[in-house]
Amino acid sequence: MEDAIALLDRFGDEARILAGGQSLMPLVKARELRPHILIDLNRIAALEALESEAEGHSLGALVRHRQIAASGRFESGPYAALGDAARSIGDLQVRNRGTAVGSVVHRDPTGDVAPAALALGGRVRVLGANGGREIDVESFQESPPDPSELVTHLRVSVSGGASAYQKLGRVEQDRAIAGVAVWLELEGETCRQARVAVGGLEPRAARLPEIESALEGARPADEEARRRIAELMTRRVRAQTDELATADYRRHVLGSLFERTVASAISRHAGTR
Ligand SMILES: Cc1cc2nc3c(=O)[nH]c(=O)nc-3n(C[C@H](O)[C@H](O)[C@H](O)COP(=O)(O)OP(=O)(O)OC[C@H]3O[C@@H](n4cnc5c(N)ncnc54)[C@H](O)[C@@H]3O)c2cc1C
């Protein structure tokens, strides 16, 4: 790890970190990126750990999508959105190599990990020659990482509740036209706390505070209540038109995805999945 930090400090912008290579190498192959130096993290054993702590889970920078999907820790309950996101990514080869941290750092608007991390109180641990710091994924989405720093961990931490992530691509496990992550905590049928994040929309994955407030105090198990909040989301969210979908289509599917994702989180909350 010290060697990687020293190399980053020495070469700065000329160097690129290589984790799973699933986003970096396609850019290099297309000549969109021509890094002079590649710093390969893959032999730093300390970055391979997926640890469960009292307050959540800590994922080292070499924890792969497949490891998350297969770990059994993200299938139900509070952190299930991360498992949903990992399982929805690309194909087996991509999930075998690609990392959750690499996905958050890459900040692709169609990425699946960032919305799940946002809904789950995600924070990244950053290390550079001048020491370490922790920053929430929300702020990290807003400002590009300093090229001389290494992101060593992604941490997710919420207080109980249940979560889910769903996306729509052109085909299964394709880039997200739209994706929604929801975490909520219920008391009886009333939602006490909620975190909602969307992906597939420009420019970055983002939380939707207005939708979170609409959920809080509502009874989202009621279909009509869910639909009203979904309609609000459809009206308020900004979406772009690109080669995958029009903005109108994105807004439309986002509303339906939201309703389904909330229903999935509620059934997980009840322990019925
Ligand atoms: C065919 C295909 C299909 C895909 N489908 C999907 C999909 O459906 N959903 C989805 O979300 N993603 C998809 N991806 C992208 C995939 O999830 C990548 O794994 C992920 O976006 C990046 O992780 P990585 O470990 O491969 O990062 P890399 O490609 O190694 O790196 C990506 C960028 O992040 C930087 N970086 C990586 N790790 C660190 C670190 N620890 N600290 C600082 N900088 C770092 C690199 O320098 C680079 O700039 C797909 C990729 C391919 C090739």
Q: Which two tokens stand for residue 96?
A: 């075998």
Q: What is the pLDDT of residue 272?
A: 55
Closest ligand 1 atom, residue 88 Cα: 8
Say if residue 151 is in the same domain as residue 172: no
Say if residue 185 is in the same domain as residue 142: no
Instruction: For a ligand 1 pocket test, name from 41, 58, 94 the mutation site with the most ligand atoms within 8 angstroms of its C-beta.
Output: 94
Handedness of CA 165, 171, 176, 177 (dihedral sign): negative
Tell me how many degrees the CA angle 216-217-223 measures, rounded to the nearest 5: 90
Q: Which two tokens stand for residue 211?
A: 């939708």
Please name the residue whose Cα sits nearest to atom 53 of ligand 1: 22
Domain that holds residue 190: 162-271
Say if residue 145 is in the same domain as residue 186: no
21 lines ligand 1 (CB under 6 A): yes
Name which of 156, 163, 126 is nearest 144 in CA terms: 126
101 lines ligand 1 (CB under 6 A): yes
Ordered per-residue pLDDT tens for the chain, 273 residues: 999 999 999 998 899 999 999 999 999 999 999 999 999 999 999 999 999 988 999 999 999 999 999 999 999 999 999 999 999 999 999 999 999 999 999 999 999 999 999 999 999 999 999 999 999 999 998 887 788 899 999 999 999 999 999 999 888 777 889 999 999 999 999 999 999 999 998 789 999 999 999 999 999 999 999 999 999 999 999 999 998 899 999 999 999 999 999 999 999 998 854
| Long-range contacts (CB closer than 8 Å, 24 or more residues apart) made by 245-252 | 245/177, 245/178, 249/177, 250/177, 250/178, 250/200, 250/201
How many residues comprise the chain?
273
137 within 8 A of 124, measured Cβ to Cβ:
yes
| φ/ψ (deg, to 5) at 123 | -135, 145
Say if residue 111 is in the same domain as residue 232: no
Last residue of a domain, one of 156, 181, 201: 156
Q: What is the pLDDT of residue 106?
A: 95
Sheet bearing 162-168, strands edge to edge: 162-168, 178-187, 190-199, 206-207
208 within 8 A of 201, measured Cβ to Cβ:
no
Q: What is the pLDDT of residue 197?
A: 97
Instruction: For a ligand 1 pocket test, name from 24, 97, 104 the mutation site with the most ligand atoms within 8 angstroms of its C-beta.
Output: 24
Task: Assess if residue 46 is contained within a domain.
Answer: no
99 Cα: distance to centroid of ligand 1 (angstroms):
6
Q: What is the pLDDT of residue 53?
A: 85
Instruction: For a ligand 1 pocket test, name from 58, 105, 153, 168 the mutation site with the most ligand atoms within 8 angstroms of its C-beta.
Output: 105
> Reduced to 3 DSSP states, what percent helix, strand and coil does the chain have, rounded to the nearest 5?
40, 25, 35
Number of domains in the chain: 2
| φ/ψ (deg, to 5) at 176 | -75, 125
59 lines ligand 1 (CB under 6 A): no
Last residue of a domain, one of 90, 122, 156: 156
109 Cα: distance to centroid of ligand 1 (angstroms):
12
Q: What does pTM read for this prediction?
A: 0.96
151 lines ligand 1 (CB under 6 A): yes
Say if residue 119 is in the same domain as residue 170: no
Closest ligand 1 atom, residue 16 Cα: 47
